[in-house]
Amino acid sequence: MPALHILLRWPDGASAAYYSPSTIVRNYFVAGQAYPLAEFTARARRAFLAASDRVRQVHGMPCSRAAASLAEIEARAARHDSGDVTIEKFE
């Protein structure tokens, strides 16, 4: 299953990379696009759960790394009141 990292920039200017076990996250984000924080968080939840579900379909269990990425994203998003999250690229 092809994995990737999604590189993004938070509203405070910090950059971060998050692991996805599936390229399905590309269906939820566009590189170069900025998303309002609440929209980004909702999309990330759907994207990383979908990626984890793909792993479950193939291997019979969800992806713990996708769950960890989602948990990190949600924790970081909770530290911001507003602003945009920019998808810098996929690797």
Q: Whole domain around residue 80: which residue ranges?
A: 4-90
Is residue 1's pLDDT more than 90? no
The reported pLDDT for the residue numbered 14 is 98
Element (H, E) at 78: helix 64-78
- pLDDT tens for residues 52-74? 999 899 999 999 999 999 999 99
- pLDDT tens for residues 9-41? 999 999 999 999 999 999 999 999 999 999 999
User: What does pTM read for this prediction?
Assistant: 0.92
The reported pLDDT for the residue numbered 38 is 97
Please give the Cα distance from 32 to 9 (Å, whole number).
Answer: 10
DSSP annotation of 24 reads G
Q: What is the number of structural domains in the chain?
A: 1
Kindly state the average pLDDT of the residues 42-47.
Answer: 98
Please give the Cα distance from 18 to 4 (Å, whole number).
Answer: 8
Strand order in the sheet with 15-20: 15-20, 4-9, 84-90, 34-36
How is residue 63 written in tokens? 């992806």
